[in-house]
Amino acid sequence: METVFVISALKVVGYGLGAIGPGVGLGLCGHGLCVGSARQPEMAGKLFTNALIFGAMSEALALIGFVLTFIF
């Protein structure tokens, strides 16, 4: 019982560690979008689409971590 509890707690800790990188990545992505569209508002639409692509890419790691907490 104790071991099961420790393992299920460690899964959540692992997910938290895995979410650090994507968090930084998404923040940088949003920063770039805000700065870019403030400097050149007419490019905002195109920048937003690109920001979504790169946001989706960096988010992938966090989502894999989310799946792994359910699998193991």
Partner 1 sequence: MNFTGDPLSDISAPIEELSTSLRSPGHVIDFGNGVYLTPYIFWLIIVLLLVCIGVTMCVKKVTLVPKNKFAGLVEYGYDAVRRNMGQEGVGHGYEKHLPFLASLFFFVLFANIVGLVPSFRTPTGTLSVTWALALVSFIYFNVYGFKVKGAWGYIKSIAPKGLPAPLVPIIWVFEFVSLILRLLTLAVRLYGNMFAGHMILGIFAIMTQAFLIDAFVGAAPLLALPAVIWFLFLVLMYALECLVAFLQAYVFTILSAVYIGLAQSEH
Binding-site ranges for partner 1 (CB under 8 A): 45-46, 48-49, 52-53, 56-57, 59-60, 63-64, 66-67
Minimal distance, residue 36 CB to partner 1, in Å: 15
CB of 32 to partner 1, least distance (A): 17
Q: Which is nearer to partner 1, 31 or 46 (CB)?
A: 46
Answer left, alpha or beta for residue 40, where phi above 0 means left and psi between -120 and 50 means alpha.
beta
Q: 64: closest CA among 28, 19, 9? A: 19
